[in-house]
Chain A
Amino acid sequence: MKIAFTAKGTHWDSTIDPRFGRTEYILVYDDEKDEFESFDNRDIENEAHGAGPKTSQKLFELGAKVLITGNGPGGNAATVLEKAGIEIFIGAGNMTVKQAYEAYKNNQLTKF
Chain B
Amino acid sequence: MRIAIASGKGGTGKTTLSANLAAFLSKTETVVLTDLDVEEPNSGLFIKGKLENEETKYKMIPEWKEETCTLCGECQKNCNFHAIIQLGPQILVFPELCHSCYACSELCPTDSLPMVSQRMGKLKHYSGDNIDFIESQLDIGQEQAVPLIGQTIQYVENNFDDNTLKIYDSPPGTSCPVIEATKDADFIILVTEPTPFGLHDLKLAVETVKELRKSFAVVINRWGLGDEKVMDYCKENDIPIIAKIPNLRQIAEIYSRGELIFEQVPEFKDELLKISDYIKKEMD
- Contact surface of A with B, Cβ cutoff 8 Å: 47, 49-51, 53-54, 56-57, 60, 76, 79-80, 83-84
Give which listed residue, B80, B81, B92, B96, contacts A80 with CB less than 8 A: B92
A57/B81 contact (C-beta < 8 A), A50-B94, A76-B94, A80-B92 known: no
**What chain A residues lie within 8 Å of B88 (beta carbons)?**
60
| In the bound complex, CA of A60 to CA of B85 (Å) | 11
Asked whether B204 is an interface residue with its Cβ less than 8 Å from the other chain, the reply is no
A63 to chain B, nearest CB (A): 11
Chain B positions within 8 Å of A47 at CB level: 82
Closest chain B CB from A59 CB (angstroms): 10
**Contact indicator per residue, chain B 70-87, by CB within 8 Å of chain A (1) or not (0):** 000000000011110111
Is B97 in the interface zone, CB < 8 Å from A?
A: yes
Are A50 and B87 touching (Cβ within 8 A)? Answer: no
Contacts of B90 in A (CB 8 A): 83
Q: Of the candidates A49, A83, A84, which one forms a contact with B81 in the assembled complex, judged by CB atoms under 8 Å apart?
A: A49
Which residues of B are in contact with A by a Cβ distance under 8 Å? 80-83, 85-88, 90, 92, 94, 96-97
Q: Which residues of B contact A51 (CB under 8 A)?
A: 82
- Given A60-B87, A83-B87, A49 contacting B92 (CB threshold 8 A): no
Nearest-neighbour CB distance to chain A for B1, whole angstroms, equals 33
Most B Cβ at <10 Å: residue of A49, A51, A54, A84: A49
A-B contact pairs, 19 of them (CB 8 A): A47-B82, A49-B81, A49-B83, A49-B97, A50-B81, A50-B83, A51-B82, A53-B82, A53-B85, A53-B94, A54-B85, A76-B94, A76-B97, A79-B92, A79-B94, A80-B85, A83-B87, A83-B92, A84-B87
A57 touches B97 (CB 8 A): no
Label chain A's interface by main secondary structure. helix
Complex-state Cα separation, A49 to B83, whole angstroms:
9
B85 / chain A contacts, CB cutoff of 8 Å:
53-54, 56-57, 80
- Looking at the assembled complex, report how far the CB atom of B174 sits from the nearest CB atom of chain A, in whole angstroms: 14
- Which chain A residue has the least Cβ–Cβ distance from B144? A49
CB distance from A77 to the nearest CB of B (A): 10
CA A109 to CA B83, docked complex, whole Å: 30
Contact in complex: B82, A54 (CB < 8 Å)? yes
Known interface pairs A53-B83, A83-B90; 12 further A-B residue pairs with C-beta atoms within 8 A, sorted by A's residue number: A47-B82, A49-B82, A50-B82, A53-B92, A56-B85, A57-B85, A57-B86, A76-B94, A76-B97, A80-B87, A83-B87, A83-B92
Q: Are B96 and A57 in contact (CB under 8 A)?
A: no
Residues of chain A with a CB closer than 8 A to B87's CB: 57, 60, 80, 83-84
What CA separation (Å) do A57 and B86 show in the bound complex? 8
Q: How far is the CB of B61 from chain A (nearest CB, A)?
A: 14
Of B81, B87, B97, the most chain A CB neighbours within 10 A belong to: B87
- A54 vs B88: C-alpha distance when bound (angstroms): 14
CB distance from A25 to the nearest CB of B (A): 19
Residue of B nearest to A76 (CB): B94
The 5 lowest CB-CB distance pairs between A and B, nearest first, are: A50-B82, A49-B81, A54-B82, A53-B85, A53-B82
